[in-house]
Amino acid sequence: MAKSWYILHTYTGYEGKIERTIRTLLESKDIDPAVVTDVRVPVEELIEVKDGKQHSRKNKFLPGYIMLEMDLPELDWKKTCTVIRRIQGVTGFVGTNPSDRPRPITADEAKNLLQKSGAIKGEKVVHVKQSFNIGDQVKITDGPFATFSGNVEEVNPEKDKLRVNVQIFGRATPVEVSFAQIEKI
C-alpha cells in the first residue's frame, strides 16, 4: 500500500508529548519506521503586532490532532495501530472505531494542512493577529506608503489585507496593505 496521511485524535495540550513519544517508539523500533514515516503537530506561524513591534509565535491550528504519515500493511496493521492507540493521551484515529482499520485523509486535505503548517517548501503561510474594523484610523509603518495615515475602507481577513484611504497630493487614494504593515492610531 502507498503512504497516506492519517489524523490521530489526542487530548488537547498533549500533542507535543505524544509526538515525542511516537518518535521515541520509532527510534527504539517498537513501531516499525517503515510503517510510520512522519509525525507532525499542525502549527502555523502567527505574527502579533503590539505597540508597533512584531512578535512571532507558533500556534496549533488543529488543537487535539496529530498528522501521521503511514504505509499501513494490509494484514499486520493492527499491531502498529494498537501501539499508537495505547499511548497516554491518544483517543484514536479520526473517523474509525478502535477495531477498524484507520482511514487516511485525501491527498488534497493533506496538502492543505501541510501548506498551512509550512511543511511544503516555498508555500509557508503566515497569519497576522490583529483586528481592524471599517472606519478605524491607522498608520502605515512599512512599504512605499510608510508614514501615511488614513481610514480603513475594507478588511479582508482571509488574505490578511486592508484597503486604507490615504491622502496623497490632497486626494483620497485607496491603498491595499497587509496587516503587518499598519498599526492602529
Q: List, as one string, the DSSP characters of 96-134.
A: S-TTSPPPPPPHHHHHHHHHHTT-STT---EEEE----T
Provide the residue-wise pLDDT of the chain in tens; the chain has 185 residues: 589 999 999 999 999 999 999 999 999 999 999 999 999 998 887 777 666 667 788 888 889 999 999 999 888 899 999 999 999 999 999 988 888 999 999 999 998 888 877 766 555 555 556 678 888 899 988 888 888 999 999 988 778 789 999 998 888 899 999 887 888 88
SS3 at position 25: helix
Residue 35: predicted pLDDT:
92
What cell does 68 get?
A: 501521521
CA–CA gap between residue 38 and residue 154 (Å, rounded): 41
Contact partners, residue 107, CB within 8 Å, separation at least 6:
none
Residue 124: predicted pLDDT:
54
Q: List, as one string, the DSSP characters of 31-93.
A: S-TTTEEEEE--EEEEEEEETTEEEEEEEESSTTEEEEEE---SSSHHHHHHHHHTSTTEEEE
| CA angle (57, 61, 65) in 5-degree steps | 125
SS3 at position 137: strand
CA–CA gap between residue 23 and residue 111 (Å, rounded): 22
Residue 163: predicted pLDDT:
94
Q: Which residues pair with 155 in a beta bridge?
A: 162
Neighbours of 5 (CB within 10 A): 19
Residue in 116, 139, 109, 19 with CA at minimum distance from that of residue 59: 116
Q: Tell me which H or E stretch contains 20.
A: helix 15-27
Work out the mean pLDDT of the chain and round it to a whole number: 86
pTM of the model: 0.67
Residue in 175, 174, 177 with CA at minimum distance from that of residue 49: 177
Q: Are 96 and 103 in contact (CB under 8 A)?
A: yes
